[in-house]
Amino acid sequence: MARKKTKVTVLNNEYYRQQTSATDYQKHEQTVENKHRLRVRILLILALVVTVGCSIQIVKNQFRARNITTQAKTAKQELARQSSQQKSLQLQVKQLNDPDYLQKYIRERYYYSKKNETIYNLPEERLQEAAKEN
């Protein structure tokens, strides 16, 4: 639509200037307030993003710490098991260096006998029963 041309002209008097300057001032105040609100929103969003990011890092670190603690416990258990096995093997080495024990072990394990000696094999069940009776 085309604007109608009117024969009305605006008078450039004091009242008109006050009204337009008041309107301009209100528009300026409104734009400043809108910018301020926008800045506050951006800062709040930024703070929220930083907070969420830090929270995620904290949770990840706690999860890693829990995993490391679990691994440390299993490693300590494995160390204890290996230590006891090492002690057992050291005792076995010490016993194998003893000639009497070595002779007894070879005779028992590989069924070696002395001259004029007879070896009888008993089933393992009877050996276990005999060991329980003694």
The type of residue at 55 is S
Cα separation, 42 vs 29, whole angstroms = 20
Report CA torsion sign: 16, 18, 23, 25.
Answer: positive
Alpha helices (H) along the chain: 14-96, 99-110, 124-133
Q: How do residues 20-35 score in pLDDT, each as one tens digit?
A: 888 888 999 999 999 9
Question: Residues 64, 70: contact at Cβ < 8 Å?
Answer: no
Percent of the chain clearing pLDDT 90 (strictly above): 49
Q: What is the 8-class DSSP label of residue 7? A: S
pTM score of the predicted model: 0.49
Q: How confident is residue 2, by pLDDT bands cut at 50, 70 and 90? A: low
Query: Residue 124 is encoded by which pair of tokens?
Result: 């393992």
Average pLDDT over every residue of 37-62: 97
Residues 6+ apart with CB under 8 A from 96: 102, 105
Cα separation, 64 vs 3, whole angstroms = 72
Q: Using the structure block, give the residue that is written with the tokens 């307030």.
A: 33
